[in-house]
Amino acid sequence: MTTALNTLHVTNSFAELPSGFYTRLDPEGLRDASLLHVNEALGAELGLSPELLHSPEMLAVFSANAPLPGGKTLAAVYSGHQFGVWAGQLGDGRAHLLGAIDTPAGARELQLKGSGFTPYSRMGDGRAVLRSSVREYLCSEAMHGLGIATTRALAIVSSPVPVYRETVETASIVTRVSPSFVRFGSFEHWLGKPDEMSVLLHYVLKQFYPEILQQHAKADDATLAQALLLEVCIRTAEMVADWQTVGFCHGVMNSDNMSILGLTIDYGPFGFMDAFRVNHICNATDTQGRYAWNNQPSMAHWNLYRLASALTTLGAKPDDLTLALETFEPAFLKRYQANLAAKLGLEQWLEGDTVLVDNWWRLLHFDQADFTLSFRALAWAPENPDTFVSLFNDTEKAREWLSSYQQRLTRQQAAPQQRAASMNQANPLYVLRNHIAQQAIDAAGTGDSSVIRDLLRVLAQPYIDHPGLEHYALPPPADTPSVPLSCSS
């Protein structure tokens, strides 16, 4: 464990790319910043001692007032499609990459979000508000706790510095951690520029997909691009399948918010559903429902087409890229069915299970039943039919579905207790509900990080009971005003 900041082994692989890929610059330090919370568990993975994480030197780094020793601070350029429309150049408009820390699992980049102007800030102010930073901080760790591929969050600092959104809020910075922050949009940026695209391709393969380079020794860029696309299709399909089966809506699945590593990235107006709605939209700005829950798989696929289209720059043939793109659907279905089988306690996915699951979704949708608690209840439902049925408004429909489920379970061997135990490993009790995130935000606004602390405890282990913290598992009371979430964060 490192206790001194200047003994860290920091690398800068992204900064070794040609200068057109980024701008080297200092972030804008946040004045009067205080450490709201630091993630000691992630810190340990990075080899950082608790003393170091809580030190004034580290706070200076987290608040953009000092560089990471040995790091080369930069903002990266990328482009992208936003809401289906080519948006041209975007880039890190309020994020600064500090460098990477070596860990046994590989190098982990540290990136500040909310750390001031960059050449890519466009109309923005380079800042992030406390509200959105708390949400990103908590949700990255909630996803990690659920076993869903995601960037991580190491620290959150708050400050009294005003930030102007719909109202006046205060500035905050989250330190994010990931092997890489390269996006689909990083490739789209070099459409029609084969030299730069080739540099980026080889960088991503060498750093993050070495097995592809090994399998395709001496292959040309077109072949390598196709191999990369295939792998990104599979990872993205599995990530989105995992989103679907916990009721997570990302909210802004623009191609600049899609990670080349298949990680959930850029938490904005995301939401875990309380009441299930098949077409639930979590982003108030998304008036068309482009990123509604039931559209997420096809929107991920659409973004992969944009990535593929960028890769034609390297001479990859559309037919070959299409072959890679066609792996998306089977990869998605395989993961989606495996997740649902685990959630329903089915030992294997049999013909007819699609109908059982579709009818389950239909029951939840028309009843507006709570996504998380309804799945959790399935573990004990077959043995307690009356209690289960009473959870629903349409008890008749619920009873009908339950009997089809009971019927299905007769085709299996496992004892009910064994099935229930395995289902409880697949159906979380705790997800980051919006009204709960709001409680953490409200407390954080008064300098109180205890809700963040308690939430991180339950979200790190969302499949087990946490005595004394049961309230974090509850849906919002009926009279809770819903918090409108938009991209303005």
Applying CB under 5 A, the residues found at the interface with Mg ion are 257, 266
209 binds, among Mg ion, ligand AMP, none (CB under 5 to 8 A by kind): none
State the nearest-atom distance from the C-beta of 117 to ligand AMP, in Å: 7
Q: Compute the least distance from the CB of residue 187 to ligand AMP, in Å.
A: 15
Min dist CB 265 to Mg ion, Å, is 8
Q: Please choose which of Mg ion, ligand AMP, none residue 125 contacts, taking the beta carbon within 5 to 8 angstroms, the exact cut-off set by kind.
A: ligand AMP
Catalytic residue from among 242, 256, 286, 370: 256
Distance, CA of 188 to CA of 78 (rounded, Å): 7
Residue 126 contacts which entry, Mg ion, ligand AMP, none (Cβ below 5-8 A, type-dependent): ligand AMP
Of the pair 27, 91, the CB lying nearest ligand AMP is at 91
Least gap, CB of 127 to ligand AMP (angstroms): 6
Q: Whole-number minimum distance, CB 448 to Mg ion, in Å?
A: 29
Nearer to ligand AMP, 60 or 487 (CB): 487
Binding site for ligand AMP (CB under 6 A): 90-94, 120-121, 124-127, 252, 254, 257, 266, 268, 487
CB under 5 to 8 A by kind: which of Mg ion, ligand AMP, none does 433 bind?
none
Beta carbon nearer to Mg ion, 259 or 449:
259
Q: How far is the CB of 120 from ligand AMP (least distance, A)?
A: 6
121, interface contact from ligand AMP, Mg ion, none, CB < 5-8 Å by kind: ligand AMP
Closer to Mg ion by CB, 253 or 321: give it: 253
Which residues on neighbouring strands pair with residue 156, listed in sequence order? 37, 174
Nearer to ligand AMP, 262 or 268 (CB): 268
Catalytic: 256? yes
Residue nearest to ligand AMP (CB): 124
β-bridge partners, 100: 11, 109
The site partner of 55 among ligand AMP, Mg ion, none (C-beta below 5 to 8 Å per kind) is none
In terms of CB distance, is 120 or 208 closer to ligand AMP?
A: 120
List the single partner that 427 binds among Mg ion, ligand AMP, none, CB under 5 to 8 Å by kind. none
Name the minimum Å distance from CB 252 to Mg ion: 7
Nearer to ligand AMP, 241 or 252 (CB): 252
- Under 8 Å CB-to-CB from 379, ≥6 apart: which residues? 345, 419, 420, 423, 424, 427
Annotated catalytic residues are 256
